[in-house]
Structure 1
Amino acid sequence: MPRRAVACLALVLAASPAAADFPCDELWGERNATYKDAGYCFKTQRGIQAFGNAGCQYDDIADVPLSARDRAKVADIQRRERENGCPR
């Protein structure tokens, strides 16, 4: 997903109170774009195809150094994914 699209989606996600406004794929993309930007090495085919692993540094998601703001964003996205019944 291009960085501009991710940035626009982040603004929309932050502004919308309704979880059902966003399809699961968009929520997945926004959550994983945050991890990609922080250097996560994707393991799933879907993640690798969408984001690649060029320049990745962290194999364990628990080791990815997210800011407090990014952690809050990821937690909010995960909450929305649960509310939408998105697959894990």
Structure 2
Amino acid sequence: MRFTALVFSFFTAAVPAMAQDRICDDLWFTRNAVFAEAGYCFDSALGQSVFGSECSTKSPELSNEQKALLTRVKAREAEWECKVSTGNRRLAIEMLPLRMALEDMPVMQGFESSCFGWKGAPKALRRGHHAQAARIGTIEPGDGFLTSYELEEGWEFLVIYRDEAVAAMGWADFSTDEWDCEGYAG
């Protein structure tokens, strides 16, 4: 149960400002990943550092789905009173290259739930919240995982811990089954 101790020590040592910074960085990334996907040219140091300079427009056309996602993200940013400094060049996001490769961006809630010691069969992690999305990882027996993201029609975005380190992340389908864990928190 070293994972339990790791999670407990992280959350008890974390000050509210640190947690808020992590949440706000995550929401900023999700919001701006939508614009980057649409070809937006970033002026800020942070936008250029995270998304690069390959772009095509300052006025991207967004789909209705992208607009709906932006509305949800902006509501969460307002809820957490987010103010990310775009003069920075880094975000507090784990496995950023993998997050950038996602097909469907997760929306962080800020309230975490965790599983200690997955007891189920290996379960696929996918780039998006549908069965046709590419597989990018697996939840293995004994793994721990955290989620602090909004559910998407039974799909959960999970961060997987193995040997006390982040090992994978992605969307897992829990629409027809429950978490099967040695212990839970949150």
TM over 0.5: yes
Segments of 5+ residues of structure 2 without an aligned counterpart are 1-19, 85-186
TM-score (norm 1): 0.68
TM-score (norm 2): 0.33
1:64 aligns with 2:63: no
Deviation at 1:35, TM superposition (A): 0.4
* Letter aligned with residue 46 of structure 2: R
Aligned residue for 1:35?
35
Runs of 4+ deviating beyond 6 Å: none
Q: Give the number of aligned pairs.
A: 64
Name the Cα RMSD after superposition.
1.6
Aligned residue for 1:85?
81
1:26 aligns with 2:44: no
CA distance in 2, matches of 1:29, 1:84: 15
Deviations 1:32-77 (A, max 9, x none): 01100000000100000010121x1112xxx211100000101110
CA distance in 2, matches of 1:66, 1:26: 21
* Letter aligned with residue 43 of structure 1: D
Structure that is richer in helix per residue: 1
CA distance in 1, matches of 2:53, 2:61: 16
* Letter aligned with residue 87 of structure 1: K
* Letter aligned with residue 80 of structure 1: R
CA distance in 2, matches of 1:37, 1:85: 25
Higher relative contact order (CA 8 A, sep 6+): 1
Structure that is richer in strand per residue: 2
**Which is greater in Rg?**
2
- Kindly, what percent of the aligned residue pairs are identical? 36
